[in-house]
Amino acid sequence: MRYADVAVDITAKALDRLFQYAIPSELENQVEEGAIVEAPFGKGNRTITGYVMSISDQPKIDPEKVKPILAVVTRLSDEEKRLTALAVWMKDRYGASLASAMRVVLPARKRAPARQQQVVGLAVLKDEALLLIEDMRKRRQAARLRLMEALVQEEQLPMEVCTGKLHVTGAVIRALAAKGYVRIERTRVYRNPVLPEAFSHARVTLNPEQAQAVDRIFGEMQHRPDCRFLIQGVTGSGKTEVYIELIARVVAAGKQAIVLIPEIALTYQTLMRFYHRFSGRVSVIHSKMSAGEKQDQFDRAAQGDLDVMIGPRSALFTPFPNLGIIVIDEEHEESYRSEQSPRYHAREVAFRRGYLEGACVVLGSATPSMEASFAARSHEIGLIRLNRRAGESSLPKTQIVDMRREGPAVGDLILSDRLLEAMQKTLERKEQVMLFLNRRGYSGSVVCVSCGHALRCPHCDVSLTLHTGGELVCHYCGYRQRMPARCPECGSTYLRTFRYGTQQVEAVVEKTFPNARLLRLDRDTASRKDGELNVLSAFANHEADILIGTQMIVKGHDFPDVTLMGILMADLSLNIPDYTASERTFQLLTQAAGRAGRAGKEGLVLIQTCRPEHYAVRCAAAQDYDVFYEREMAFRQGAGYPPAGGLLAVHMSCPDKDHLVLGAGYVRKFLERVKGEDPMVILGPVDEPVARIADVWRMVLYMKGTGSAPLRRARGWLEKYIEINPGFSNIEVTYDTTI
């Protein structure tokens, strides 16, 4: 008789161990490592599914009592089996249950029915279409023009592409259909998001910087297939072209590629560049796809029908037979970190997968994360720089406007004279203006608008948050103080939490520029049906002169007529109660600045701030990543934050507040005992920045240490302590380890 150790697919932490089952003789040939099986579980013998982790000849208990496996649901392919090794590593690395790690790595294998898709096709001959296009151009019918031009090239396009990536509304398409210019058809599709046969597309010739980057990485791969690189390239320096060329060589060598892109940057333009180069052998997954649609794409990859998979975080688990390269574009993006257990970071998991499967990992960003930069500067990964913009446009001119000097109503002023004047000129030239209101960290941080000083915790060097009742609280260590009457730096009484939002900005702009056409994009307008797309497409069509918005307007969209970007309250995100506040601010401001002056027009960026001397603001204005890195690293080293030190966060949540406070207190006591003489620092427990979600209370405790090993050891002991202690059965505990 042979036996299988099975990880049961049940979330309960207490069950996160292996259960042994007997393999009945009729299933002998089918049960193998990695297989998904059904088996009886618990006293009632209800049927559960589980993953076979290993097989042995030895029963661990009385052989009479070992229950048999009932059925084999699926047998995993070799590709999928390799991925289970990744799940085991994730379980250890992130302190998650094996079942939850397996669910991330091998997502649900549900079958969704094939679906009907609407396709828009050209209903007139090409010559006739070209005449119509001329006419539309004269009449400035931008949306119609865009659709017709795309259809002349592609002949037909999925409806989603027309309304989504091309920003053409359903009403416009129906109007064209009514005139008989286009046809809307329903077709049954194999759930394959690849567009129709791609037309030939002029390839760019790589410039010397780009060509060198490709040669260096590909050369290194020849003797070290699992090498790692960071490409630090300014916005528009041609990183995407480097990825494409590199991938073309990898594919020519018979291997496959995964390209991770943040969901928000997954634009039609980017996808088309890959489709044109790799035609039908590219696929994409994204969050709007059903589980079945994603699985279809994974199946195609495993069958060898694909060379390239593009998508957000979850595309990392594409089961390719011979993976050669993983590219992570915009690797600094927060969306690469999962907020659910296992709280993994795509960069770390990509490194591990690369190591397990002998694949190269390439990270790219204009503003690399501190982690990636640190690894590159300590020579763990190769560093490649692209210092110039590749196309015709140059980087925009950037100026800082010091809001402390802007008149008597200090801090209440929304638009400075400099910005008003620049807006006036831009509108006169019939170009477009974007006003980006930085609202990150909006809730509760307190700033002196006279000197720019922000109230911070004396122990943790992060911003304090104002709570109702006028108390300031630190979200790392729990330090509290009363709201002071005067600024501790300069003595002024102008201590403020910023209170103005996009609507106030809109009101001021409306009054000052009564003839300008305005659009606003924030959480309000975006939540209306198709709100975000409608606003962005209207602005892209130049149906408005000024777009006012929050972070949503910063990423992933190109507006060729925008030549002025005004950044309001640039320093606000410096007050996010988190040690990464300066890094986030630098990234946000650099990204925002990169929006102005694309497509050959000269751009101007004005950054309004009360803290013009802060290095995150100054370095973003100067587009100087290296100086920023040095300054930020000095701060991280001084305060012992990652990547200079390790940080373990223990997140705890429970519907019963008192019980949570009690449990969190025990966690602290236990960690203190475990730590002994180790030079580790324990902070908290404290309320999470959002202390309650859906009636579940949330607390967090941090442990800082110099290296990762002692922290992981402490976490391992804590996991055991929590497992055997019934008091924790209704407290959910997850871990976040940054090293």
Q: How would you class 469 by CB atoms within 10 Å of its CB: exposed for 0-12, middle for 13-18, buried for 19 or more?
A: exposed
* Nearest distance, CB of residue 326 and ligand ADP, angstroms: 17
Residue 708 · residue 737 · CB < 8 Å: yes
3 state SS of 298: helix
* Nearest distance, CB of residue 553 and ligand ADP, angstroms: 18
* Nearest distance, CB of residue 520 and ligand ADP, angstroms: 27
Q: Is 453 in the site for Zn ion (CB under 5 A)?
A: yes
Q: Is 239 in the site for ligand ADP (CB under 6 A)?
A: yes
Q: Which of 19, 268, 479, 721 binds Zn ion (CB under 5 A)?
A: 479
DSSP code at position 409: S
DSSP string, 165-219: TT---HHHHHHHHHTTSEEEEEEEE-S--PPSSPPP-PPPPPPHHHHHHHHHHHH
CB-nearer residue toward ligand ADP: 219 or 391: 391
- Residues touching Zn ion, count (CB under 5 A): 15
738 binds, among Zn ion, ligand ADP, none (CB under 5 to 8 A by kind): none
Q: Is 450 in the site for ligand ADP (CB under 6 A)?
A: no
* Nearest distance, CB of residue 495 and Zn ion, angstroms: 8
Other residues' Cβ atoms within 10 Å of the Cβ of residue 449: 20
CA–CA distance, 605 with 399 (Å, rounded to integer): 6
CB-nearer residue toward ligand ADP: 256 or 393: 393
Q: Is 464 in the site for Zn ion (CB under 5 A)?
A: no
477 binds, among Zn ion, ligand ADP, none (CB under 5 to 8 A by kind): Zn ion
Q: Which of 141, 210, 338, 445 binds ligand ADP (CB under 6 A)?
A: 210
CB-nearer residue toward ligand ADP: 85 or 265: 265
CA–CA distance, 679 with 675 (Å, rounded to integer): 8
453 binds, among Zn ion, ligand ADP, none (CB under 5 to 8 A by kind): Zn ion
Residue 525 · residue 535 · CB < 8 Å: yes
CA–CA distance, 80 with 74 (Å, rounded to integer): 11
| Consecutive H or E run containing 222 | helix 208-223
Residue 702 · residue 648 · CB < 8 Å: yes
Other residues' Cβ atoms within 10 Å of the Cβ of residue 555: 17
Report 421-450 residues binding Zn ion (CB under 5 A). Answer: 448, 450
Report 167-206 residues binding ligand ADP (CB under 6 A). Answer: 204-206
* Nearest distance, CB of residue 53 and Zn ion, angstroms: 42
- Residues touching ligand ADP, count (CB under 6 A): 15
Handedness of CA 438, 442, 445, 447 (dihedral sign): positive
- Alpha carbon of 670 to those of 704, 712, 727: distances in Å? 15, 15, 14
Mark the segment that binds ligand ADP (CB under 6 A) among 220-228, 236-244, 349-357, 495-503: 236-244
* Nearest distance, CB of residue 390 and ligand ADP, angstroms: 3
Tokens of 489: 């730096």
Q: Is 240 in the site for ligand ADP (CB under 6 A)?
A: yes
451 binds, among ligand ADP, Zn ion, none (CB under 5 to 8 A by kind): Zn ion
Q: How would you class 677 by CB atoms within 10 Å of its CB: exposed for 0-12, middle for 13-18, buried for 19 or more?
A: exposed
Q: Is 613 in the site for Zn ion (CB under 5 A)?
A: no
Q: Is 699 in the site for ligand ADP (CB under 6 A)?
A: no
The strands making up 308-311's β-sheet, listed across from edge to edge, are 282-284, 308-311, 256-260, 323-329, 360-365, 228-233, 382-386
Tokens of 578: 């988190």
* Nearest distance, CB of residue 555 and ligand ADP, angstroms: 12
Instruction: Find the farthest-apart pair of alpha carbons in the chain and give their distance in angstroms, rounded.
Output: 88
CB-nearer residue toward Zn ion: 359 or 460: 460
Q: Is 579 in the site for Zn ion (CB under 5 A)?
A: no
CB-nearer residue toward ligand ADP: 207 or 290: 207
* Nearest distance, CB of residue 270 and ligand ADP, angstroms: 8
204 binds, among ligand ADP, Zn ion, none (CB under 5 to 8 A by kind): ligand ADP
Mark the segment that binds Zn ion (CB under 5 A) among 278-286, 291-299, 454-462, 673-681: 454-462
CA–CA distance, 108 with 3 (Å, rounded to integer): 26
Tokens of 20: 């042994």
Report 372-401 residues binding ligand ADP (CB under 6 A). Answer: 390-391
Q: Which of 451, 533, 691, 739 binds Zn ion (CB under 5 A)?
A: 451
* Nearest distance, CB of residue 685 and Zn ion, angstroms: 13
Q: Which of 50, 193, 233, 642 binds ligand ADP (CB under 6 A)?
A: 233
567 binds, among Zn ion, ligand ADP, none (CB under 5 to 8 A by kind): none
CA–CA distance, 285 with 211 (Å, rounded to integer): 29
599 conformational bin, left if phi > 0, alpha if psi -120 to 50, beta if neither: left
Alpha helices in 21-121 (DSSP H): 78-94, 98-105
CB-nearer residue toward ligand ADP: 531 or 560: 560
Mark the segment that binds ligand ADP (CB under 6 A) among 164-172, 239-247, 467-475, 645-653: 239-247
241 binds, among ligand ADP, Zn ion, none (CB under 5 to 8 A by kind): ligand ADP
Q: How far is CA 450 from the centre of its chain?
A: 35
CA–CA distance, 610 with 401 (Å, rounded to integer): 9
* Nearest distance, CB of residue 563 and ligand ADP, angstroms: 17
425 conformational bin, left if phi > 0, alpha if psi -120 to 50, beta if neither: alpha
* Nearest distance, CB of residue 200 and ligand ADP, angstroms: 16
Report 157-186 residues binding Zn ion (CB under 5 A). Answer: none
Task: Provide the angle, in degrees to the nearest 10, between the axes of the packed helices 370-377 and 625-639.
Answer: 100
C-alpha torsion 688→691→694→696, nearest 10: 80
CA–CA distance, 257 with 254 (Å, rounded to integer): 10
CB-nearer residue toward Zn ion: 108 or 490: 490
Q: Which of 104, 195, 231, 474 binds Zn ion (CB under 5 A)?
A: 474
237 binds, among ligand ADP, Zn ion, none (CB under 5 to 8 A by kind): ligand ADP
248 binds, among ligand ADP, Zn ion, none (CB under 5 to 8 A by kind): none
Q: Is 241 in the site for ligand ADP (CB under 6 A)?
A: yes
Q: Which of 273, 459, 523, 542 binds Zn ion (CB under 5 A)?
A: 459
Q: Which residues pair with 41 in a beta bridge?
A: 46
490 binds, among ligand ADP, Zn ion, none (CB under 5 to 8 A by kind): Zn ion
* Nearest distance, CB of residue 437 and ligand ADP, angstroms: 24
438 binds, among ligand ADP, Zn ion, none (CB under 5 to 8 A by kind): none
Other residues' Cβ atoms within 10 Å of the Cβ of residue 206: 18
Give the phi and the psi of residue 328 in degrees, each rounded to 5. Answer: -120, 105
DSSP code at position 66: P
Residue 533 · residue 164 · CB < 8 Å: yes
Mark the segment that binds ligand ADP (CB under 6 A) among 194-202, 235-243, 291-299, 526-534: 235-243
Q: Is 235 in the site for ligand ADP (CB under 6 A)?
A: yes
Residue 425 · residue 603 · CB < 8 Å: no
DSSP code at position 359: -
Per CB under 6 A, residues contacting ligand ADP are 204-207, 210, 233, 235-241, 390-391
Per CB under 5 A, residues contacting Zn ion are 448, 450-451, 453, 457, 459-460, 474, 476-477, 479, 487, 489-490, 492
